[in-house]
Structure 1
Amino acid sequence: MADDEDEGEGGLYEEGHWIWDENANQIAFVSDRPVVEDEAIAMPTKMPTGAIEFRDDVDLIEQLRYRRRYQRKLKPEQPDVITVQDCKDIALYTAPVSILSPALINMLHIPTTERFMKALILCCQYYLQVSDEMGHRMMELETRVRTPYCDVVEQEFGTNLNDLRALAAKEYCTMLIGGADTKKYHHMGPAKKRRSLSDKDARLFETMLRMCVQIVWLALGRKAFNQIELEVNRLFKSEIFNAVEHTLKTNYVEKMTKEERNVLLGQCLRTEKKLTTKSPMMNEVFCYRDIDYRMMGIGVIKMNQMPLRLKYIYNIVAGPEEKYSTLGVSLGIVGMPRTSFDTMLKPLPTAEDAKSKKSLGSMSSGSAKSNSSLKKSGMGCGQRKLYADIHLPLKSEHDDAFPPSFPSEPEAPTPCNDVQRRRWLKRLQRLRRGQRASAGKRN
């Protein structure tokens, strides 16, 4: 098969290969297109348990193959910037084949999941930002007196985190109930009349959760993987069922001060019996606090007028990634020039990095010890900051006023990259076919 894959639908003898048919005694064409995309390859029969390791040691030959066959190709006059699709592509390329399925690939390429990914990246980016800030504040309180203004600042941090968690939670709820474009992936079928396939549903969402962690980590410049993984699993599974925490045994929640817990964990935590415990993600949606109703419709319902705060969030979740820099928003490395990163989205060294590395080598051990507080965020003295911090506009009192009527006109969904979706489906089918052929030879 040719190295370069066609991006269009092609003709009769495209997207396939020729073989010799022993029975017919002639050559025959075999198409590489999936026959029925969601059923051609079954879901993995076992629940993914333990640590699912993604490859991070992709050599230059594999990078060249990825760039030629699977990297997103630019359309004419399209700016060459990083998108969430680029992060999804690398996650799919480096993921173990055993956890991949057509349902997972298709689900990653629908508008609801796209908004969910952006909201989760935004939430984790702000969480890491506030976590670092709270760590510095707690260290400063050892030598300073706490003032009432501290409560005001920390309350603002907590409110912002609550809103960003609710933003991701509302998309996650849509996925759980099979709403909008996720009907096809509901475990009881689009009409919800089938017998419940709870095991299949659990496998799909467990794999999706691990894929989300990898995509968020890539989008945030490959920083603070353990913090991201711990927080994402806590949000979706609660502290009781956080398998990552049970494995790593960091006790990071117990190590937090009271002020850090109030800000980072939020106020919507419900203490219930183990089997009836709801995840913090669900609690954010059903929390007894003031939530701007318009935020629940961002990217879904068209709203003609929005305050600055919601406009900022809308630009990230539903706005064009190519215009992030001009819109003044930050979402990790998304929206940054792709030329500043290598094929695997690792930042390329700059002259500033070389100068910082040289100065770091001349530091005394005592000076290096004073920078230990920066270890938590992974932004040490010898590392540059890849992207800008998030600065959410403040809420204003008149923003919560109810309109005469609620908007009902749907927002036009941002289309996902269908070319990449079909490309990953074809690759999965080819890999699985190769595995079956190898197994047949061994038998």
Structure 2
Amino acid sequence: MADDDEESLFGGLYEDGHWEWDETAKELIFVSDIPPEQVEELQIPTKAPTGTVEFRDDLDIIEQIRFRRRYQRKTKPGQPDVITVQGVKDLALYTAPFTILSPMLISMLHLPTTERFIRALVLYVQYYLQISDEMANRIIACETKIRTPQCEILERDFRENLSDLRILVAKEYSTVLVGGCDTKKFHHMGPNKKRRSLSDKDARFIETFIRMCVQIVWLALGRQQFNQIELEVNRIFKTEIFNSVEHRLHTDYVTKMTKVEKGVLLGECLRHDKKLNTRSPLMNEVFCHRDIDYRMLGLGAIKYNQMTHRQVYLKEAISGAEEQLAEMGIVLGIIGLPQGHFDTMLKPLPITASDPGKSKSSMSNQSQSKASFSMKKSQSAASRKLYSDIVLPDRESTSYFPPRFSIESEEIRPCSVAQHRRWHSRLRRLLKMHRK
């Protein structure tokens, strides 16, 4: 090809950039010389509220169709259609009140660290509710039965399991607090931690972030026991003293617990210092003087050469692919279950058992009434139990100490860029409508 022909073919491209050879991809890539487009800075007209925040949960058919067409996560051909963390986040963002939404909150929710944090929080809260019901039944049974040494062993396992699951939440939350990894730009003193601390802005952001996480956990657990979820999430982040939800509801659920229940559900890493020196239960778990495998503090982020069956289970629960959770026997609420079993609002669909030899048109009135009764019965059963209980693998008594610590990172699963942009565009439109 002549030089003139080559220039005429690529001349338009060379005006805006140049071609470079990528050794990793083994292909030519075009590098643009045009400066990146300036992103419009969204100005929130009012401060985010820190009190009671109500989400919409009664969307009409039109709103549900609009959400499904415009904002729901689209499944690619050949991809398993299961409920994902992104799908639950999408529904929480769509039903959230406009006053708590911000570009910072949307960007924060679409980080790999935040996804691991949400999944660890779902796992912990689900197991906490499960053990809370178990302990309540055991306390009632103790009125007519005698405690045995086996009770102490079983309750010790419950306590250690809850402590390990709190560690998984604490390690991701600590990353957010110190502005590590992909959360640097969300630190209250800037990415380089040299600005003046914006304590009021940071406090309001954390309040809205925790409230959004409570909503996501509630949706992921099948819309059950909202007050218990909200109370426990606020307790582990703020301690009993600063639990604003408890101050509003006045349940006194901690003081009503027996000594045995407190030992199991609250753990042994509680410190009662003065108010100014009080650490949250999550931070107490990190600094607790108990037997903690160091690999627990890096699951999902650091690649270890040798892990126990329990650690593999926990790693896949917080950072594995959602479509493989059911195959591995991992329970994470409704996450990982088939999307076809739920409607747009992630409510379970009724399952009817029909006779394949008979068509619906040939059913008599009596059989239709029986089918209707069975449908209501199965629907009420599904609302009570959408997923099985968590069964964690046992802890191994021996610890593995390698000759040197691993510095290799795990393969981080990215969040959906398309959904991230979609929610920013929606917030921009809502702000323009609000100004008008």
Q: Give the TM-score taking structure 1 as reference length.
A: 0.83
- One-letter code of the match for 2:102? S
Aligned to 1:220: 221
- Residue pair 1:218, 1:345 contacting (<8 A) in 2 also: yes
Aligned to 1:91: 92
Aligned to 2:282: 281
Runs of 4+ in 1 over 2 A off after TM superposition: 34-37, 42-47, 351-360, 379-384
Structure 2 distance, partners of 1:222, 1:335, is: 16
Aligned to 1:441: none
Which consecutive unaligned segments of at least 5 residues does structure 1 have?
1-33, 361-378, 438-443
Alignment of 1:353-392 (within 5 A): 383-392=383-392
Deviation at 1:50, TM superposition (A): 2.0
Aligned to 2:434: 435
Deviation at 1:328, TM superposition (A): 1.1
Structure 1 distance, partners of 2:299, 2:376, is: 47
- Residue pair 1:356, 1:383 contacting (<8 A) in 2 also: no
- Residue pair 2:348, 2:383 contacting (<8 A) in 1 also: no
1:169 aligns to 2:178 (yes or no): no
Instruction: Give the 3 Å change call, closer, same or farther, for CA 135–412 of structure 1 in structure 2.
Output: same
Aligned to 1:319: 320
1:92-138 Cα distance to aligned partner (Å, 9 max, x none): 00001111000100010011001000000000000000001111111
1:266 aligns to 2:267 (yes or no): yes
Aligned to 2:39: 36
- One-letter code of the match for 2:39? V
| RMSD, aligned α-carbons | 1.9
What percent of counterpart residues are identical?
62
Which consecutive unaligned segments of at least 5 residues does structure 2 have?
1-36, 354-370
Structure 2 distance, partners of 1:58, 1:47, is: 23
Aligned to 2:395: 395
- Residue pair 1:56, 1:94 contacting (<8 A) in 2 also: yes
Moved more, 403-412 or 214-223: 403-412
Aligned to 1:411: 410
Tell me, what secondary structure is at the counterpart of 2:65? helix
- One-letter code of the match for 2:266? L
- One-letter code of the match for 2:422? R
Deviation at 1:382, TM superposition (A): 8.2
Aligned to 2:230: 229
Aligned to 1:200: 201
- One-letter code of the match for 1:99? I
Aligned to 1:31: none
- Residue pair 1:44, 1:99 contacting (<8 A) in 2 also: no
Deviation at 1:198, TM superposition (A): 1.0
Structure 2 distance, partners of 1:73, 1:423, is: 12
Tell me, what secondary structure is at the counterpart of 1:67? helix
- Residue pair 2:350, 2:375 contacting (<8 A) in 1 also: no
Structure 1 distance, partners of 2:397, 2:352, is: 47
Tell me, what secondary structure is at the counterpart of 2:254? helix
Structure 2 distance, partners of 1:271, 1:36, is: 47
Q: Give the TM-score taking structure 2 as reference length.
A: 0.85
1:55-97 Cα distance to aligned partner (Å, 9 max, x none): 0110111000000000000112101000010110010000011
- Residue pair 1:44, 1:203 contacting (<8 A) in 2 also: no
- Residue pair 2:317, 2:325 contacting (<8 A) in 1 also: yes
Aligned to 2:190: 189
- One-letter code of the match for 1:430? R
- Residue pair 1:44, 1:98 contacting (<8 A) in 2 also: no
Deviation at 1:332, TM superposition (A): 0.2
1:317-352 Cα distance to aligned partner (Å, 9 max, x none): 111001111111110000000010000101111237
Q: How many residues align?
A: 383
Structure 1 distance, partners of 2:88, 2:136, is: 29
1:143-198 Cα distance to aligned partner (Å, 9 max, x none): 11111110100000000000000110000000000000000111111110111111
Alignment of 1:2-151 (within 5 A): 35-36=38-39, 40-43=41-44, 45-151=46-152
1:378-429 Cα distance to aligned partner (Å, 9 max, x none): x98785420111111111112x131111111011211001110100000000
- Residue pair 1:44, 1:101 contacting (<8 A) in 2 also: no
Aligned to 1:29: none
- Residue pair 1:113, 1:171 contacting (<8 A) in 2 also: yes
Structure 2 distance, partners of 1:77, 1:348, is: 24
Alignment of 1:230-309 (within 5 A): 230-309=231-310
- One-letter code of the match for 1:417? S
- Residue pair 1:129, 1:389 contacting (<8 A) in 2 also: yes
Tell me, what secondary structure is at the counterpart of 2:75? coil
- Residue pair 1:106, 1:421 contacting (<8 A) in 2 also: yes
Structure 1 distance, partners of 2:298, 2:80, is: 29
Structure 2 distance, partners of 1:147, 1:355, is: 45
- Residue pair 1:330, 1:388 contacting (<8 A) in 2 also: yes
- Residue pair 2:178, 2:187 contacting (<8 A) in 1 also: yes
Larger Rg over CA atoms: 2
- One-letter code of the match for 1:394? D
Structure 1 distance, partners of 2:160, 2:259, is: 16
- Residue pair 1:357, 1:382 contacting (<8 A) in 2 also: no
Tell me, what secondary structure is at the counterpart of 2:325? helix
- One-letter code of the match for 2:78? E
- Residue pair 1:356, 1:382 contacting (<8 A) in 2 also: no
Moved more, 281-290 or 122-131: 281-290
